[in-house]
């Protein structure tokens, strides 16, 4: 058999090839039962989120939150302490009891009789021609082609050259959660969300944590949240602000990282969390005519199609400007629709993308920062509401949590919402709805009840604290 171009012999041709078993694995449903499908996955089924990312890390975060609540319970009049941490038990509960069986079941499902139209390939995928891929099953190397190809190959950790070339043992998010023992001390290189989530986890469970960020922590946050979070983090961790690694070596105390100012940081374990890079460069995309952006993502049009290669689609970290699982899932649903409905294409949904960082305090954001809103020329109104000023904040004895809302004084439209504190990722959902449905904030607070004394009152009070130039305009039905 040969590809449509007629130049490369192939072992099998498919209607659809999917590279990656993360969000891409959710594409084939009953609607695709009449199509032959190949899924290529050279790692664990389920992708980064299930196996080494969002899901297991949040299971650790919940454990860490519980531990921190215990150690800080004195402010509530309780005398409690943690007498031991069963790290191997935690690892087993998360992976052996939950994550690993789910990943295995996902692969078994695709390999088994319930999806007879699907073949699984477990060798690495490399393009060798137009919509043609070299991969394999077990020890057998094969070349396959497809009418349509969806690239959902994800991303991988970035390792600074000073660490990669040092020869020391380092960890990333891909293996740090499966350590055999809880380390006594840890150095974390990086200051983004992965670094801050693991800093919280290990510190809360008893590890001494040193953080080495090249500038500040979570530097893209709105300034009010950024400044407050960095102040809190500096009290909790040993933070070496504005430092970069120049090398590392093994010492009697563990791994010592040499920094650019001549100082050093030593820990029993070294975690590198300096960002992620798309995996497109591992697929030999030029051989298939698939173009890439300057920052390594696959170039797509507004519908998720390659701009340079017909019949090629992409989603998730390999192409998206947002390395977030909920974005990959939304892109997957869009690409799935477009594969099934080529005459009625939907645009990739990238409006009002929210994000959360499950550190402590928890952080969630959507929309513009205050600086961005002013740079865009909006007539801005801002309200920063303390958790500690509402009744449930009193129950929490919260002195650091805030909700910051940014709106346009003239239109009544929300521009950005930023939460730092207890259940921030849940509280922000109402503001995501406001943006998604383009609601007018001048009537949003008064047109619904806010349960007293629940924590969403912090949002209600923030809304009532915004100032606007005039009331909301009546809608069409009211005017009629």
The two structure tokens encoding residue 453: 């004394």
The two structure tokens encoding residue 39: 């899924």
Residues 447-458 have pLDDT tens digits of 999 999 999 999
Asked if residues 150 and 16 have their Cβ atoms less than 8 Å apart, the reply is yes
Burial class (CB in 10 A: 0-12, 13-18, 19+), 197: buried
Beta strand residue intervals within 164-315, DSSP E: 185-189, 208-212, 238-239, 245-251, 254-259, 264-267, 269-272, 276-278, 312-314
CB atoms within 10 A of CB 54: 17
Pick the closest to residue 305 from 265, 264, 346 (CA basis): 346
CB atoms within 10 A of CB 34: 8
Residues 307-333 have pLDDT tens digits of 999 999 999 999 999 999 999 999 999
Residues 420-449 have pLDDT tens digits of 999 999 999 999 999 999 999 999 999 999
Q: What percent of the chain has pLDDT over 90?
A: 95
Residues 108-136 have pLDDT tens digits of 999 999 999 999 999 999 999 999 999 99
Pick the closest to residue 312 from 445, 177, 145 (CA basis): 145
pLDDT at residue 1, as a whole number: 46
CB atoms within 10 A of CB 441: 23
Q: Which of 350, 352, 418, 452 is catalytic?
A: 452
Asked if residues 63 and 197 have their Cβ atoms less than 8 Å apart, the reply is no
74: Cβ contacts below 8 Å, ≥ 6 apart: none
pLDDT at residue 475, as a whole number: 62
49: Cβ contacts below 8 Å, ≥ 6 apart: 22, 55, 325, 328
Asked if residues 388 and 394 have their Cβ atoms less than 8 Å apart, the reply is yes
Q: Is the dihedral of CA 23, 138, 99, 237 positive or negative?
A: negative
Q: How far is CA 314 from the centre of its chain?
A: 18
CB atoms within 10 A of CB 215: 10
Determine the Cα–Cα distance for residues 434 and 415; give it in Å rounded to an integer.
10
Asked if residues 414 and 370 have their Cβ atoms less than 8 Å apart, the reply is no
3-state DSSP call for residue 232?
helix
What's phi and psi for 396, nearest 5 deg? Answer: -80, -10
User: Has 452 been annotated as catalytic?
Assistant: yes
Residues 264-273 have pLDDT tens digits of 999 999 999 9
Would the pLDDT of 468 be above 60? yes
Q: What percent of the chain has pLDDT over 70?
A: 98
pLDDT at residue 8, as a whole number: 86
Rounded average pLDDT over 30-54: 97
Rounded average pLDDT over 405-432: 98
pLDDT at residue 474, as a whole number: 73
Determine the Cα–Cα distance for residues 93 and 399; give it in Å rounded to an integer.
34
CA angle (400, 232, 396) in 5-degree steps: 30
pLDDT at residue 6, as a whole number: 55
Would the pLDDT of 81 be above 60? yes
Asked if residues 212 and 229 have their Cβ atoms less than 8 Å apart, the reply is no
Give this prediction's pTM.
Answer: 0.95
Rounded average pLDDT over 173-196: 98
**Domains observed in the chain:** 12-157+277-340 (3.50.50.60), 161-274 (3.50.50.60), 361-471 (3.30.390.30)
């Amino acid at each position: 058999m040969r590809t449509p171009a007629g130049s490369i012999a192939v072992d099998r041709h498919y209607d659809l090839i999917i590279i990656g078993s993360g969000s891409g694995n959710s594409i084939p449903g009953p609607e695709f039962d009449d199509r032959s499908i190949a899924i290529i996955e050279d790692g664990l089924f389920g992708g980064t989120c299930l196996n080494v990312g969002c899901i297991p890390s949040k299971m650790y975060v919940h454990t860490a939150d519980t531990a921190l609540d215990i150690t800080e319970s004195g402010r509530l009049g309780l005398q409690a302490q943690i007498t031991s941490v069963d790290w191997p038990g935690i690892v087993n509960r998360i992976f052996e009891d939950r994550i690993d069986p789910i990943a295995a079941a996902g692969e078994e499902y695709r390999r088994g009789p319930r999806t007879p139209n699907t073949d699984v390939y477990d060798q690495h995928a490399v393009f060798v021609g137009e919509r043609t891929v070299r991969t394999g099953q077990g020890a057998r190397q094969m070349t396959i082609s497809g009418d349509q190809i969806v690239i959902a190959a994800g991303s991988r950790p970035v390792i600074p050259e000073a660490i990669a070339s040092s020869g020391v043992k380092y960890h990333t998010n891909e293996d740090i959660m499966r350590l055999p023992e809880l380390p006594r001390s840890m150095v974390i290189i990086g200051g983004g969300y992965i670094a801050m989530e693991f800093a919280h986890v290990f510190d809360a469970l008893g590890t001494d944590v040193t953080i080495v960020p090249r500038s500040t922590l979570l530097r893209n946050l709105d300034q009010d949240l950024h400044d407050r979070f960095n102040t809190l983090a500096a009290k909790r961790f040993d933070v070496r602000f504005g430092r970069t690694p120049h090398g590392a070596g093994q010492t009697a105390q563990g791994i010592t990282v040499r920094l650019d100012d001549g100082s050093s940081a030593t820990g029993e374990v070294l975690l590198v969390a300096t960002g992620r890079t798309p995996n497109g460069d591992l697929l030999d995309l030029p051989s298939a005519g698939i173009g890439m952006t300057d920052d390594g993502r696959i170039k797509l049009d507004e519908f998720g199609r390659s701009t340079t290669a017909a019949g090629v689609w992409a989603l998730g970290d390999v192409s998206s400007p947002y390395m977030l699982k909920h974005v990959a899932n939304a892109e997957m649903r869009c690409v799935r629709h477009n594969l099934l409905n080529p005459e009625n294409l939907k645009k990739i949904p990238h409006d009002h993308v929210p994000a959360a960082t499950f550190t402590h305090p928890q952080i969630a954001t959507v929309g513009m920062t205050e600086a961005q809103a002013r740079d865009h020329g909006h007539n801005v109104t801002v309200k920063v509401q303390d958790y500690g000023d509402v009744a449930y904040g009193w129950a929490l004895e919260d002195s650091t949590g805030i909700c910051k809302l940014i709106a346009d004084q003239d239109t009544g439209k929300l521009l950005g919402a930023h939460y730092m504190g207890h259940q921030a990722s849940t509280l922000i959902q109402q503001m995501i709805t406001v943006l998604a449905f383009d609601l007018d904030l001048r009537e949003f607070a008064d047109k619904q009840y806010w349960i007293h004394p629940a924590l969403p009152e912090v949002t209600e009070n923030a809304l009532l604290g915004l100032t606007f130039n005039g009331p909301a305009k009546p809608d069409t039905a009211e005017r009629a």
